[in-house]
Amino acid sequence: MNYREAVDFVHAAGWTKIHLGLERIAELSRRIGNPEKDLKFIHITGTNGKGSTSAFLTAILMAEGYRVGAFTSPDLMSLNERMAIDGTPIADEDFAEIASAVAREAREMENQPSSFELLTAIALEYFRREECDVVVLEVGLGGDLDATNIVMPLVSVITGIAHDHMHILGKSLAEIATTKCGIIKSGRPVVFGGEARKVLPIISEFAMRNGSELFVGNYAEIKDQKSDLFGSRFDYKSWENVGISLLGLYQPKNAVVALETVEVLNKYGLKVSERAVYEGLLKAKWAGRFEIISKEPLIIYDGGHNEQGVRACMESVRHLFPGRKVNVLTGILANKDRGEIIRQVGEMAERIFTVRASGDERAYDSGVYAEEYLRAGYAAESCRGVKNGMEKAIRAAQENGLPILVVGSLHLYLEVIDFLTIK
Query: 372 near 342, Cβ under 8 Å?
Result: yes
Per-residue confidence (pLDDT) for residue 166, from 0 to 100:
47
Cβ proximity of 290 and 232 under 8 Å = no
Burial of 171: CB neighbours in 10 Å, binned 0-12, 13-18, 19+: exposed
Whether pTM > 0.85 for this model: the answer is: yes
CA–CA gap between residue 413 and residue 154 (Å, rounded)? 33
* DSSP assignments along 320-385, one per residue: HSTT--EEEEEE-BTTS--HHHHHHHHHHEEEEEE---TT-TTBPPHHHHHHHHHHTT--EEE-SH
CA 351, chain centre distance (Å)? 27
Question: Could you say which DSSP state residue 90 is in?
Answer: P
pLDDT value at residue 359: 72
Sign of the CA dihedral running 302, 303, 304, 305 = positive
**DSSP secondary-structure letter at 85?**
E
| CA nearest neighbour of 306 among 356, 342, 341 | 341
7 in helix, strand or coil?
helix
Q: Is the dihedral of CA 358, 359, 361, 362 positive or negative?
A: negative
- What pLDDT, on a 0 to 100 scale, did the predictor assign at position 418? 95
- Taking only the tens of pLDDT, the chain with its 423 residues reads 999 999 999 999 886 655 678 999 999 999 999 999 999 999 999 988 999 999 999 999 999 999 999 999 989 999 999 999 999 999 999 999 999 999 999 999 999 999 999 999 999 999 999 999 999 999 998 889 999 999 999 999 999 887 654 445 556 888 889 999 999 999 999 999 977 678 999 999 999 999 999 999 999 999 999 999 999 999 999 999 999 999 999 999 999 999 999 999 999 999 999 999 999 999 999 999 999 999 999 999 999 878 888 999 999 999 999 999 999 999 998 877 888 999 999 999 999 999 998 877 789 999 999 999 999 999 999 999 999 999 999 999 999 999 999 999 888 999 999 999 986
What is residue 173's predicted lDDT score, i.e. its pLDDT? 87
Q: Give pLDDT, residue 172.
A: 84
